[in-house]
Amino acid sequence: MAVSASATRQRWLREAAAYVVLLILMIWTLGPLYWMVTTSIKTNAEVYGTTATFWPRQPTLANYRILFTKTPFAVYFQNSALIALATTFITVLASALGAYALVRLRFPGRRLLARLLVYTYLVPQSLLFIPLFTILVNAGLSNTRTGLVLTYLGFTVPFCTWLLMGFFKSLPREVEESAMVDGCSRVGAIWRMVLPLSVPGLLTVVIFALTLVIQEFVYSLTFISSVERMTVSVGVPVALVRGDVYYWGSLMAACLITSIPIAVLYNFFLDRFIAGFTVGAIR
């Protein structure tokens, strides 16, 4: 009985410790989100007051009104959406075809090219914006959304190609061979068999590309100078940070509105997103 009671006590302590750690991690993760939501509906007196309030005493939507009426936030959001969708579409197309070619086709330098893709992604972005800016200026693409899309593709395509290589390696060749025996061309086999079986990987690529483009700041700040072409990550600070005055309520409102689509997408495809990174990392 003493042994059983001791074992029960130890199990209870382990479970209690696990719940405490989980609670700390939840507070650490959800704390900034909670503060962002509450700050976006606080009055200026509460935001700039000397006493911190964990919940607004007089909730208001004035910060959202300022965001939409005093700043071109809708233009920033539209630019971010267009750039993100264009980058994601091209990334999925290019990385899927590139990954399939590297996995299934046999040509000289295939393994070296696969390694170079990963090495390209590992180059720090802060080292590349000056030469990239020179290239865009010479090509006449500076201060354009097209130039920004082409810049982002240099970071999304290499990593996503490497990631999809893991999915295509996990698919048996017999899947494509049986489709081609039934009369499909190689392109038809890819479209009808390979891509449907690689949906978790494709969703992972979509979420990764969208997240990277929407939150990117350095290249958007460097390559875009016109207000009407700015993205949310640059336009919102430009409009709501004036000298040493920070419009924290409206800033938090902009962050909340921008993060909602990504959060919904993450939550909807969470299981497949985790599976995508797991398989890609194992391969």
Mean pLDDT calculated for residue range 117-141 = 81
Minimum mean pLDDT range among 57-61, 94-98, 126-130, 249-253: 126-130
If one compares 272 and 202, the residue with the highest pLDDT of the two is: 202
If one compares 217 and 121, the residue with the highest pLDDT of the two is: 217
CA distance 178 to 230: 49
Q: Percent of the chain having pLDDT more than 90?
A: 21
- The pLDDT tens digits of the residues spanning 212-234 come to 888 888 889 888 888 889 999 99
pTM of the model: 0.82
Mean pLDDT calculated for residue range 94-104 = 87
Domains of the chain (ranges, CATH numbers): 2-63 (no CATH), 70-282 (1.10.3720.10)
Mean pLDDT calculated for residue range 191-213 = 84
CA distance 232 to 84: 11
Determine the pLDDT at residue 274: 61
Determine the pLDDT at residue 91: 94
Beta-strand runs (E) in the chain? 241-242, 245-246
Is 80 exceeded by the pLDDT of residue 158? yes
For the stretch 106-134, what's the b/e string if a residue is b when 16 or more beta carbons lie within 10 angstroms of its beta carbon? Answer: eeeeeeeebeebeeebeeeeeebbeebbe
Token pair for 222 = 């460097």
Determine the pLDDT at residue 280: 45
Confidence band, pLDDT 50/70/90 cuts, at residue 176 = confident
